[in-house]
Chains A and B, each alone.
Chain A
């Protein structure tokens, strides 16, 4: 019931997002034909171009046409180069998910372990050091972290390639090897947030009576935190982890540009720049759906991990 209601609301949100994107891209100065022809545009060629791709029709008409196609599962074709959007997006979507999964596999366990350790040795040297390092790592812009990693791991040490131009015919291992630097960059970007939340939610629980009880029973601090505090701290942690996963999927434009990684983010930015509305729409829909699904997962997970929330007063 809850899930059905959330799904329905999710579709509503998707619909509004697509409206906003259509209106937003349309409100941008210039249109696809001007962007495609650049300095070479003339009145005549612009007119021909607009007629050919249907830009002479009004925005509502184009939107309804797009929506009709979408409901039938047809993404349409790119206005800029006439390619099928589903084909254009296919491999890029896989690549985006691949990178997100790789980054998540590294960052989530790392953040949890660091966070638990920081809570365990809170206010000690270790805690401070982890805090300084992770806080510094999020204060550097993404592209800058990427440059530094490239400098060390590919220019100086030569361990990893500086370009992650993966292609579908590569094996998973080869893809993972080539995508490791972008995944590490993303790890550095998201790990601090997750680690701090893990630490904070555990420490938050340490004042609870049942923890005190466990302490009085003479349990070790390590055992208290892992066995008693952590299970109860899951809800906020899961929330932050899921939000960061969403970021790993939708927020990686810059990392894609720096590592020449063929993902969905760059496709979307390119398409916004060229005003290719159907492609922007398709990307925005995918991103929004990802976000909504992950958000829902977070809610459901926190309900599952916390039975009290299953039966609200």
Chain B
């Protein structure tokens, strides 16, 4: 443990790289044993076993299934994280912690990764977890007939093979962040037979909890897996996870004690919720950001002056204060959050400046501008309000924003990437490379501004394979600057995940990479 703590301190002081920390920690075979509480403040007591945890989440749908390839929202993602084990997971500091793998080692060019699979881990039905299961599960997502959203994540994997207890992944190009991909919530390891999952919808995994009853869109009951390999996780005896979509219903259920915890608090009333006794309101700010992509292939957004005019015409401070009620931070028109490792601290924060916006309009040869902005609360809670506020702000710069409320239903297929200017949200990606590759690289499937910048694309490839920390930093700094000044996406704010829980629930320092403690609340939290 001392060894780990020393490493941790070194890492936090920035004296060793994250990668170095991982490989050294995994080398001593103890990274998985780093308890979450190590990172938490003095208030957190040691985890205790037992109790029945009732959770109310604002997502979930009657069309859900237990098949990890179909997971769409926080509800199933948290269940996936409790039911399945992953090759690796992201810990509450945003770093890689091995799960099924005892260690993950890269080749010097980061092209070949070797994961040593832990022995003696069993699926809920008693079958042991083997390296073959890992490969077959990954193939399930990569295959021809895969409908999994993880398919594109694994596109760079050219070969997987078993080598004793190891799984050896070969990539088409070096990727220093590959272990992060293995933490994706789709990639829970399934029991397989003859290279195929036995039944992906069965809900049999090797995680801390086994599915007892599952009623899609209503509730799930999970029981602690008595054979779970890791005693530092999965503290509750049983968990009941309810789908409560209406935020007022969720809040009253919490205040009346019918559930112990909820996500997505109603920001309009969170100040009132805080006054309730016996509750804790918790927030994490990580990579989740709200954005406004403009399709840069089309006029007028093909002119960077217009984009800059719009970027100066929004009062970010006011929007964070009003729409997020302060639960968030202003964005700087690029998708990298302030808590992320390579966040560009030197880039000046863009402010609301109607005069500058007018200046850019003039540069574009215009006195005034009229544009349509498509919005729906499907993009994020408060998207329509944000659009309406932006309309008011932009009016002062001579820009007439016509807010069009689109139906929530079908927003992502009908509006996003179809309408020239719309509201959007990104849950964010754990690494800079992942985020940029997903939504900013030229030709990427979800490049929602259809933006292409040669210098940026060049840097992206170079940074991905670069193992030297400081060189990487310089590259990511420059990329953020390019996106901020030339990109086709306005990023007005980073939104916190705001949750509330009864103070009967104990939790370590919360992870910020996803909602609900990095989707791992069921694994990490405990009953006080």
Q: Which residues of chain A have a CB within 8 Å of any CB of chain B?
A: 28-31, 33-46, 48-49, 51-52, 78, 80-83, 88, 143, 147, 150-151, 154-155, 158, 161-163, 165, 257-260, 262, 266-267, 270-274, 276, 279
Contacts and interface: CB of A to CB of B under 8 A. Distances in A.
Contacts of A260: 218, 242-246, 249, 253
Interface stretch (B93-101, B344-352, B405-413, B488-496): B405-413
Nearest to B221: A167
B216 A34 contact: no
B63 A38 contact: no
Which of A28, A31, A44, A81 has the most chain B CB atoms closer than 10 A to its own CB? A81
Interface of B: 61-65, 67, 70, 72, 144-149, 151-152, 201, 215-219, 242-246, 248-249, 252-253, 255-256, 258-259, 409-410, 412-414, 416, 445-446
A81 B70 contact: yes
A259 B249 contact: yes
Contact of B256 (A33, A48, A154): A154
21 contacts: A30-B414, A33-B147, A41-B149, A42-B445, A45-B146, A78-B63, A80-B65, A154-B252, A155-B256, A158-B256, A163-B249, A163-B253, A163-B258, A163-B259, A165-B219, A258-B249, A260-B244, A260-B246, A260-B253, A267-B217, A271-B62
A30 B413 contact: yes
B446 to A, nearest CB: 6
Nearest to B73: A38
B223 to A, nearest CB: 16
Contact of B413 (A29, A52, A81, A151): A29
A35 B149 contact: no
Which of B61, B243, B445 has the most chain A CB atoms closer than 10 A to its own CB? B61
A81 B64 contact: yes
Contact of A162 (B148, B249, B414): B249
A29 B414 contact: yes
Contacts of B416: 39
Contacts of A272: 409
A161 B256 contact: yes
B53 to A, nearest CB: 16
B255 A257 contact: no
A42 B141 CA distance: 13
B185 to A, nearest CB: 11
B334 to A, nearest CB: 19
Nearest to B244: A260
Contact of B258 (A33, A82, A161): A161
A163 B242 contact: yes
B351 to A, nearest CB: 30
A35 B246 contact: no
Contacts of A151: 252
A257 B414 contact: no
Contact of A48 (B72, B146, B219): B146
B63 A274 contact: yes
Contacts of B242: 163, 165, 260
Q: What are the 9 tightest A-B residue pairs by CB atom distance, in nearest-first order?
A: A40-B149, A30-B413, A81-B65, A80-B63, A49-B147, A29-B414, A34-B413, A270-B62, A274-B63
A43 B416 CA distance: 15
A82 B65 contact: yes
Contacts of A147: 248
Nearest to B186: A40
Contacts of A163: 242, 244, 249, 253, 258-259
A155 B255 contact: yes
Given A30-B410, A161-B258, A81 B253 contact: no
Given A37-B147, A260-B244, A266-B217, 19 more contacts: A28-B410, A33-B147, A34-B413, A35-B412, A39-B416, A48-B144, A48-B145, A48-B146, A52-B145, A80-B70, A82-B65, A165-B218, A165-B242, A257-B245, A257-B249, A260-B218, A266-B62, A270-B63, A272-B409
B148 to A, nearest CB: 7
Given A155-B255, A276-B63, A37 B149 contact: yes
B425 to A, nearest CB: 9
B199 to A, nearest CB: 10
Nearest to B406: A29
Contacts of A30: 410, 412-414
Contact of B145 (A39, A51, A158, A161): A51
B151 A257 contact: no
A244 to B, nearest CB: 24
B515 to A, nearest CB: 15
A162 B253 contact: yes
